[in-house]
Chains A and B, each alone.
Chain A
């Protein structure tokens, strides 16, 4: 696969839940995201945002269509392989940060390598490097409860970056942050984008959406790109 292969390629992806009556959460979504691109996906609740996120994150399977990540057809992979794919190619950032309260900041970041089959030697240093990248290296030995929400989200981003993923998948990353922290986080996203990181931002905040290079709106399971 050459460098021109898109990081994410959705072709007519649909997701239907249940059968009586079937609920069509996604209807034929087409989307291509190239490396270094950033796209914000906005939409009201119940529009299919979360479903799309789950499929993009290999947490859920589409019922129709193709999803290729780095040119790999996800549908052909088993559960364990999809878990490995998540670990290696996708970094998750959640609205609730999802940090383990009993581990220090650097230990939380190190957790990202546990399931990658990578050696333990140098893991701490790699985690410290990732923390440095989000400007938090001096908080490495703090517990997550002792740092601010904005800093917690940076820790989560550092954790997502540790596996050197192809895609950073952010679910309402600013949802629990105040405006100052939101602005700082968006600056960080800009920096990451300049470094060539591919970003998908699921949000309902229009201001956040405008910072991405592309915007798409999802309504009733149908995705339309907006200018």
Chain B
């Protein structure tokens, strides 16, 4: 049984296929499953802490900003700049509503004016009660048809005046709940009316609530057109805008120009701070500590991997020697140990990302929050783990590669 002697070349160095490298590293890990599990634990804790921190702080700040967004963060009010104590009266035009609605990002818009009734008292008919105070001074305001949506007004009863009422200057009025109570009016189906001075106004609606401009709650509000005709309203005194979420900045910049292209500086804008900056500030506060915590856990995890890989190298000196005798170059030995430590880091990263995501979901569920997590966080986490494995495996791998095969072989496997 004579085997043919093949002429073999020694040109070039020793070679190892990637599949073989992966298979050898995998077998090295599978030989010690319990140790791998314990080693990976450190990285799991670290990555899970980081992922949970990033996710939870984002979830929490989103929650805060989410509530804030609801009303305040979409609220823009434009008023004329006060000059010498009195506002420049006629800067906001009567077609402000139409001008502003054209802006992209405006959800609802209306104008609101204080009406100078020249001391006229309000009085409800028909009962004249000599005991009660039946004539009272009531703030009177004028609203454009769009204002009701812009202040998020809700009705207790009746209806809002519409464009027709304003256009025809109908003598109709809407009462705030406090004003209605003072005037003893609770229903509108019998067509109650109030006198303002000597003019009679039909009450067509009673407000239940408004979310902006609370002064409306105690006022009698007439259509803008009516106020112009009856009381000579010179110009709206403010424009109330509800923007879409996130559009506050843009609208705050554009609204004065849209309203008064020739002198936008005569208008001042009351707008909330940029919610995005607010969001960022909250997140930064929350994150700093927890990211530090996650970082420390990761460092501990890295030290764990370095330690165990080093022990593993010392323990497998015989195996390393054998591999060298079988033709492994130093780089093959180093590559195998690096791959093993990286695989441990990767495994820790995958498990850690999963655990971290579960923590976010669990905490959000218990607080009835909406879990928010940047998709790149759980996707990047395994690579962070692998990188940690790679870095912490470098020294042990170099130690393994530097072993003299002669000495390595003497120790057996």
What residues of chain A have their CB less than 8 Å away from a CB belonging to chain B?
35, 50, 54, 57, 59-60, 72, 77-81, 83-90, 92, 94, 96-103, 107, 111-112, 114-117, 120, 133, 159, 163-164, 166, 195-196
**B5: shortest Cβ distance to chain A, in Å?**
7
Alpha-carbon distance A220/B1, docked complex (angstroms): 40
Binds A, one of B52-60, B131-139, B323-331: B323-331
A79 touching B329 in the complex, CB below 8 Å, given contacts A54-B406, A195-B3: yes
Contacting residues of chain B (388-409) with chain A, CB-CB under 8 angstroms: 404-406, 409
Given A79-B330, A86-B327, A112-B326, A99 and B8 contact (CB-CB distance below 8 Å): no
Contact (Cβ within 8 A) A89 B8: yes
CA distance A115 to B327 in the complex (A): 5
From A60, A84, A166, give the contact of B12 (CB < 8 A): A84
Chain B residues whose C-beta falls within 8 Å of the C-beta of A103 in the assembled complex: 27
Pairwise interchain contact B413-A84, C-beta atoms closer than 8 A? no
Residues of chain B contacted by A133 (CB below 8 angstroms): 1
Q: Identify which of B15, B30, B409 contacts A115 (C-beta below 8 A).
A: B15
The residues of B that contact A77 with a CB separation of less than 8 Å are: 10
B327 touches A100 (CB 8 A): no
Query: Please, which residues of chain A bring their CB within 8 A of the CB of B406?
Result: 50, 54, 59-60
B413 touches A92 (CB 8 A): no
10 closest Cβ pairs, A-B complex: A87-B327, A80-B13, A117-B15, A96-B412, A115-B327, A84-B14, A102-B31, A83-B14, A83-B329, A80-B329
B379 within 8 A of A: no
B residues in contact with A115, CB < 8 Å: 14-16, 323, 326-329, 332
Which residue in chain A gives the minimum CB-CB distance to B324? Answer: A83
The distance from the CB of B400 to the nearest CB of chain A, in whole angstroms, is 14
Q: Given A84-B13, A98-B409, A117-B17: A164 and B6 within 8 A (CB)?
A: yes
Q: How far is the CA of A101 from the CA of B10 in the complex (A)?
A: 31
**Contact (Cβ within 8 A) A80 B3:** no
| B residues 306-349 in Cβ contact with A at 8 Å | 318-319, 321-332
13 A-B residue contacts at CB 8 Å? A54-B406, A59-B325, A59-B405, A59-B409, A72-B10, A80-B14, A84-B327, A98-B413, A115-B14, A117-B14, A164-B3, A166-B5, A196-B3
CB distance from A147 to the nearest CB of B (A): 15
Nearest Cβ distance between residue B266 and chain A, in whole angstroms? Answer: 81
Is B322 a contact of A83 with CB atoms below 8 Å?
no
In the complex with contacts A115-B326, A164-B6, A87-B412 CB distance below 8 A: no
| Of the residues A54, A60, A83, A89, contact of B328 by C-beta under 8 Å | A83
Residue of A72, A86, A102, A163 touching B324 (CB-CB under 8 A): A86
Q: Give per-residue flags for B1-26: 1 if the beta carbon is below 8 A from chain A beta carbons, else 0.
A: 11101101010111111011000100
Chain B residue numbers with a CB within 8 Å of A50 are: 406
Whole-angstrom distance from the CB of A210 to the nearest CB of chain B? Answer: 25
Given A81-B13, A97-B413, 10 extra CB contacts under 8 A: A79-B330, A83-B324, A83-B328, A96-B318, A98-B321, A102-B27, A102-B31, A112-B326, A114-B24, A196-B5
Bound form: Cα–Cα A101–B412 in Å: 11
Q: CB distance A120 to B19 under 8 Å?
A: yes
Contacts of A114 in B (CB 8 A): 16, 20, 24, 323, 326, 328
CA separation between A120 and B409, bound complex, in Å? 26
B326 to A86, Cβ gap below 8 A?
yes
Within 8 A of A (CB), among B74-125: none
Contact across chains for A98 and B15 when beta carbons are under 8 A apart: no
Give bound CA distance, A166 to B13, whole Å.
Answer: 18
For A35, the chain B residues whose CB sits under 8 A away are 5
A96–B317 alpha-carbon span in the complex (Å): 13
Tell me which residues across on chain B come within 8 A of A163, comparing CB atoms: 326-327
Nearest CB to that of B318 among chain A residues?
A: A98
The answer to whether A85 touches B323 (Cβ under 8 A) is: no
Q: Please, how many angstroms separate the alpha-carbon atoms of A99 and B321 in the complex? A: 11
| Least distance between B106 CB and chain A CB atoms (Å) | 68
